[in-house]
């Protein structure tokens, strides 16, 4: 990923908010592929002619196939404060997802316990007493329907690995393109999951910040729905 391709939504001395492309990792991983984290570091180093290593704090993550809004910290103080806000519920993260079918309830809260199998990198719904079980909670609201698909507005209360994908598949409404968790109910294509809104207090000034970005509206299946983030 080239720094020329980086889409910056906001930047100051403490934080940088960028748009993560789909199918690009948000940080270095075992694949060794180029990633957004390293791209942002290169951008900072080039723009400000910084000598030596550039500090950048990873605050939260998005799955590789998921696109949308991400914030990184440019100072250790900002990283520590943002990380604490994330743990204490100071972040509000909202997603749009095109799902296959329509849930029996058009809106609701999903609460499950999830566990991750690190061998196959799969996450499963489990019981509270199973080893490695972590509580997961989200709210969803169906805001559109078209051609056997539904558009869901989702607010995360916890940030578990693959959480939206696993919890929606558990109610037989997998995310479009999610062949990993959707099984026979999934429709093949690019994963239609997008982090469209991120809100949090600025780590230094305390000002409430909110950043929004539309999914790729010209692509399937997004183009089947009317999406207006200002509404």
Give the H/E segment covering residue 228. none
User: Would you say residue 33 has pLDDT above 90?
Assistant: no
Taking the CA atoms of residue 195, residue 198, residue 204 and residue 206 in that order, the dihedral angle to the nearest 10 degrees is -170
**pLDDT for 177-230, tens place per residue?**
999 999 888 889 999 999 999 999 999 999 999 999 999 999 999 999 999 887
- C-alpha span between 92 and 201 (Å, rounded): 10
Specify the pairing of strand 122-126 against strand 107-117: antiparallel
Q: What is the pLDDT of residue 154?
A: 98
Q: What is the pLDDT of residue 216?
A: 96
The contacts found for 169-172 with CB under 8 angstroms, 24 or more apart, are 170/110, 170/112, 170/125, 171/103, 171/110, 172/101, 172/103
162 Ramachandran zone, left/alpha/beta (phi>0; psi -120 to 50):
left
Predicted confidence band of residue 73 (pLDDT cuts 50, 70, 90): very high
Strand-pairing partners, residue 108, are 140
In a 13 Å sphere around the CA of 62, the CA atoms on its Cβ side amount to 31
Q: What is the pLDDT of residue 30?
A: 81
Q: What is the pLDDT of residue 205?
A: 97
**pLDDT for 53-62, tens place per residue?**
999 999 999 9
pTM: 0.94
Percent of the chain at pLDDT exceeding 70: 99
Percent of the chain at pLDDT exceeding 90: 88
- Paired tokens of 105: 């309830």
Q: What is the mean pLDDT of the chain?
A: 95
Domain ranges of the chain: 3-224
**Across residues 20-41, what is the average pLDDT?**
93
**pLDDT for 80-114, tens place per residue?**
999 999 999 999 999 999 999 999 999 999 999 99
Which class would CATH give 3-224? alpha beta
User: Would you say residue 231 has pLDDT above 70?
Assistant: no
Q: What is the pLDDT of residue 194?
A: 98
């Amino acid at each position: 990923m080239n720094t020329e391709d980086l889409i910056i939504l906001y930047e100051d001395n403490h934080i940088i908010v960028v748009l993560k492309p789909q199918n690009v990792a948000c940080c270095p991983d075992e694949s060794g592929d180029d990633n957004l984290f390293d791209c942002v570091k290169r951008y900072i180093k080039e723009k400000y002619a910084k000598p030596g290593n550039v500090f950048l704090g990873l605050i939260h993550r998005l799955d590789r196939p998921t696109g949308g809004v991400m914030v990184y910290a440019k100072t250790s103080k900002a990283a520590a404060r943002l990380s604490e806000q994330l743990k204490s519920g100071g972040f509000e993260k909202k997603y749009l997802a095109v799902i296959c079918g329509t849930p029996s309830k058009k809106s609701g809260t999903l609460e499950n316990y999830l566990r991750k199998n690190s061998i196959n990198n799969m996450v499963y719904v489990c019981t509270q007493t199973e080893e490695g079980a972590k509580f997961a909670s989200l709210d969803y609201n169906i805001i559109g329907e078209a051609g056997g698909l539904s558009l869901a507005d989702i607010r995360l209360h916890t940030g578990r690995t693959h959480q939206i994908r696993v919890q929606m598949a558990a109610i037989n409404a997998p995310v479009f393109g999610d062949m990993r968790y959707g099984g026979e109910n999934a429709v093949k294509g690019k994963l239609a999951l997008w982090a469209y809104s991120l809100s949090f207090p600025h780590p230094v000034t305390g000002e409430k910040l909110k950043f929004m970005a539309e999914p790729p509206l010209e692509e399937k299946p997004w183009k089947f729905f009317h999406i207006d983030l200002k509404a």
